[in-house]
Amino acid sequence: MKKPLTPEQVKEQFQQRGQTFSAWAKNNGYTRNEVYRVLNGQTKAKYGKCYEIAVKLGLKVDSSQQAA
* Mean pLDDT for the stretch of residues 22-28: 98
Report yes or no on 56 lying in a domain.
yes
Query: Does residue 45 sit within a domain?
Result: yes
12 domain-assigned? no
Q: Domain limits at 38? A: 20-63
Closest to 14 in 3D by CA, of 56, 60, 50, 65? 56
Higher pLDDT, 68 or 55: 55
Number of domains in the chain: 1
DSSP 59: S
Q: What is the pLDDT of residue 2?
A: 80
Give domain status of residue 15, yes or no: no
Confidence band of 65 (pLDDT split at 50, 70, 90): low
Residue 11 lies in a domain: no
